[in-house]
Chain A
Amino acid sequence: MGAPGKTTDAVLACGEVRTCLLPTREAVDQQVAERLLRLRADEPVRVSKRPNRYAVSPDVLTGVDCRLPTANGSKVRAVGTVTSRAALVEGRVLQATAYFSAPAGGPDRRRPWGYYLVRPGVLVPIGKVSPRAVAEGFLTRHHQDELDVGSIAEGQLSRISRLLADSFDPPLTTTDTRVRWAASPASDGDEPPLRFTVAEDGLRTLDLRLPPGTAPAAAAALCEDLALHDWLLTTVVDKLDGLRLGSADGKAALKVLRPLVDHLLHLWLPKARVERPLEALWDALEQEPGFSRQWETQVRRVRDQLLLQAILTQREALGASLTTS
């Protein structure tokens, strides 16, 4: 047996990040952020101000004992705990992550619960598993009785939403996104380090090959960062898509564009909390499909539209004053 809680023998890490707008009218300050993220009396909310304002709750554990999804349909039961946490970026975007790591094999029957509690965030299989089959199954399947880490992440969002029930007033409606990720150690093969797939209804999957020895927490942080920027991009693209362009209804356009400027455009800051060895994965996404490139195009569109509206409004006012005088 390795040292308790040690996860160096993990052959797989999987998780899900859910990203949404914090449903308050304005971004919240650090004090409120700490109140929302305080899950325990004896452990602080970690906050940082550089390179942007960020606060993250302590990790909490959820016990599970169920089947793991596998691509080949083989039945694998696992017991242990899933780690979850919630974080607030600039007091404006709320993210919840639930993740676990797994060794390739475990005891052939369930041990007393204390055995699992000293291995936080580890799901120990009953018997052996094929890491690849689980990674693929985790990304592609969802069966009712199998492990559901998404709901554990959602539980964090629900808890915070309930705290805000009295001041629930989002300045714009946005679609929540779910980034489901699986990370295996990179081998010498020519596999791409990352495969990012956009599915429908806010679901994305992320298949990662990470340098051996990467901590599951570091993988989770990378995925949170990718999820945040994917959500920003998704939201701005959606809003611009729905815009009735060229219409005389300038007010309607302004109603859509203004909240983007007020609440979202300043949040783009890739790699803010990504460990250096993992930055290369971000760079891969910058190459193809080019996250930042697309973002800059969208931001330009927002600004051009606003400029245009300003000119039109000015001209109207001018026209009005000319006819009245």
Chain B
Amino acid sequence: MLVFAASDKGGTGRSVTSANLAYHRALDGDDVCYLDFDFGSPTAAAVFDLPDVLSEAEGRGLHSYLKGKTGEPLRVDVWSRTEHPQLRSRPGGSGRLVLLPGDRTGGEFVTDDENLHRCVDLVLRLKREFDVIIVDLSAGRSYAMDLALAATSPRGGLGRLKTRWLVYHRWTRQHVMAAAELVYGKQGIVQAGIAMGHEADALSAAIRFVRAAVPNLESPLWSQVSPAQYAWMRQCDTQLEEIAAGRGIGKTRVLSSIPLEPVLQWQERLITDEDVHDRRIANVETWQKMGELAQRLTDDKYWGQL
């Protein structure tokens, strides 16, 4: 399965949630690879705690590959290379977890047919080796997104691969509207996809939203707020739900809601079982929701035409 992670704005937790998603799928036994297509600012190496990879990827990362500068994009085995103390021993029964980092100084670039061919070749090759391929796209309408839509269009070469889109947004009025615009707007994913030959229904059936950093009003985090504050927040939440529904990204289109997690506010990292149960620094709910997202990603029940 090919998964594209997109968002309209930065700071939506797209990269960090996608990385956790990759981690959970690998724990469940899938062979997973994570492609950092965030051409502007590759961050995956930091999330997986691979400090040396940034400099290693210089001239050998995905940008260099797509631009035709290297034939062999760098691959990093996360289990064996990470500095994260709890990840270093690969759990029994888990699958491979491999990062294809971006170049540090890649920047955005204009795509052409050559890039498209290389992109298609790379994905087909990874499809032989991995069960799940997660592609982290840069925020907003980017050339990376263009490339993804072109490659998965009927004429692009990857048209028959099972493809799913995750669109991340935070739970605020601005973020909800921006995410809806990114998908259904005039220059949105669906319209751009149709222009490239995608079938509208099939494409929108393959798009789901992930709400990130959602405050759970029932959690202990908010137990100290005054009744007035609580009532106001409750009202905002209801209004947001209405806005979301009105823009076509209501609950039925949401794959998962990841709660606000203090650990992730401080550090973009993988949340492990140990973080939750032994060190007790992360909320168990976060761990569970990440797991739920990973499960639902491949569960057809949560996908398709609504």
Contacts and interface: CB of A to CB of B under 8 A. Distances in A.
Query: Do A and B bind?
Result: yes
Contacts of A167: 160
In this complex, which of B92, B95, B130, B131 has the most chain A Cβ atoms within 10 angstroms of its Cβ? B92
Contact of B124 (A148, A158, A247): A158
B59 A244 contact: no
Interface in A137-191: 142, 144, 148, 150-151, 154, 157-158, 161-162, 165-168, 170, 173-176
Interface in B15-58: 29, 31
B239 interface: no
Interface of A: 20-21, 23, 142, 144, 148, 150-151, 154, 157-158, 161-162, 165-168, 170, 173-176, 200-201, 242-245, 247, 252
B75 A173 contact: no
B231 to A, nearest CB: 48
B128 interface: yes
B121 A173 contact: no
Contact of A244 (B92, B96, B124): B92
A244 B27 CA distance: 12
A142 B70 CA distance: 10
B31 A144 contact: no
24 contacts: A23-B124, A151-B72, A154-B125, A158-B121, A158-B124, A161-B121, A162-B121, A165-B120, A165-B124, A165-B160, A165-B161, A167-B160, A168-B127, A173-B31, A173-B130, A173-B131, A175-B129, A176-B125, A200-B77, A201-B75, A244-B92, A244-B93, A252-B29, A252-B93
Interface in B159-196: 159-161
In this complex, which of B75, B96, B127 has the most chain A Cβ atoms within 10 angstroms of its Cβ? B127
A161 B129 contact: no
Interface in B54-74: 59, 69-72
A201 B128 contact: no
Contacts of B77: 200-201
A144 B70 contact: yes
Given A154-B125, A176-B128, 18 more contacts: A20-B128, A142-B72, A144-B69, A150-B71, A154-B121, A157-B125, A162-B157, A165-B158, A165-B159, A165-B161, A168-B127, A170-B128, A175-B129, A176-B125, A242-B92, A242-B95, A244-B93, A245-B92
B94 interface: yes
A97 B70 CA distance: 19
Nearest to A20: B128
A88 to B, nearest CB: 14
Q: Is the interface of A mostly helix, strand, loop or mixed?
A: loop
A144 B59 contact: yes
Contacts of B31: 173
Contacts of A148: 71
Given A165-B157, A201-B75, A252-B29, A173 B128 contact: yes
A175 B126 CA distance: 9
A252 B28 CA distance: 10
Nearest to A176: B129
A162 B124 contact: yes
Given A165-B160, A173-B129, A151 B94 contact: no
B93 A243 contact: yes
Nearest to B94: A242
A83 to B, nearest CB: 18
B69 A170 contact: no
Contacts of A252: 29, 93
A325 B101 CA distance: 59
Contacts of A168: 124, 127, 160-161
Given A173-B129, A175-B129, A161 B93 contact: no
A148 B160 CA distance: 31
Nearest first, the 5 closest Cβ-Cβ pairs linking A and B are A151-B71, A244-B93, A161-B124, A158-B121, A173-B31
A161 B124 CA distance: 7
A196 B225 CA distance: 67
A175 B127 CA distance: 10
A83 B29 CA distance: 39
Contacts of A176: 125, 128-129
A5 B95 CA distance: 48
Interface string B95-129: 11000000000000000000000001100110111
Contacts of B94: 242
Contacts of A21: 128
Interface string B126-165: 0111110000000000000000000000000111110000
A161 B94 CA distance: 27
A150 B72 CA distance: 9
A174 B128 contact: yes
B125 A161 contact: yes
Contact of B120 (A151, A162, A247): A162
B125 A242 contact: no
A167 B160 CA distance: 8
